[in-house]
């Protein structure tokens, strides 16, 4: 994996982990979102490694936008699963948006 992309993904995970820990408690919904983001990040790492192995480093803006969209949608779906988006969940989603969209 290209180190710059790996740093970006790690920073994303660190950012939302800090947001989840701000109040000193990680709720089960926040934990579910964190776990899903970790799964999504691992998926894009795997995809980027395949792109790199094929010597095709131009995976395109569409690929990145789809990753961002899917990551945000997954986080939203988890937070909405109980039909209530708590302030903590909203903070996590907002931090994802701020981190992903320049």
- Please state the pTM of the whole predicted model: 0.79
Q: What is residue 41's predicted lDDT score, i.e. its pLDDT?
A: 87
Q: How many CB atoms lie within 10 A of CB 75?
A: 23
Domain span at residue 58?
A: 3-100
Alpha-carbon gap, residue 85 to 62, rounded angstroms: 29
Q: What is the pLDDT of residue 61?
A: 67
Angle, helices 60-80/28-53, rounded to nearest 10 degrees = 160
* Better-predicted residue by pLDDT, 5 or 79: 79
pLDDT of residue 21: 92
pLDDT digits (tens, 9 = 90+) for 29-86: 999 999 999 999 888 888 777 777 766 656 666 777 888 899 999 999 999 999 999 9
Q: Are 33 and 78 in contact (CB under 8 A)?
A: yes
Q: What pLDDT is recorded for position 53?
A: 72
Radius of gyration of the chain (CA): 14
Residue with tokens 């799964």: 39
> What is the domain count for the chain?
1
pLDDT, residue 46, reads 82
Q: How far is CA 35 from CA 8, 14, 50, 61, 75, in A?
A: 17, 13, 23, 25, 10
């Amino acid at each position: 994996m290209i180190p710059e992309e790996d740093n970006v993904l790690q920073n994303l995970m660190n950012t939302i982990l800090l947001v989840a820990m701000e109040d000193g408690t990680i709720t089960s919904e926040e934990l579910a979102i964190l776990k899903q983001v970790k799964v999504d990040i691992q998926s894009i790492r795997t995809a980027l490694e395949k792109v790199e192995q094929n010597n095709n480093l131009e995976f395109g803006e569409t690929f990145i936008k789809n990753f961002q969209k899917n990551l945000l949608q997954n986080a939203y779906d988890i937070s909405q699963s109980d039909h209530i988006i708590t302030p903590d969940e909203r903070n996590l989603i907002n931090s994802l948006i701020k981190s992903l969209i320049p």
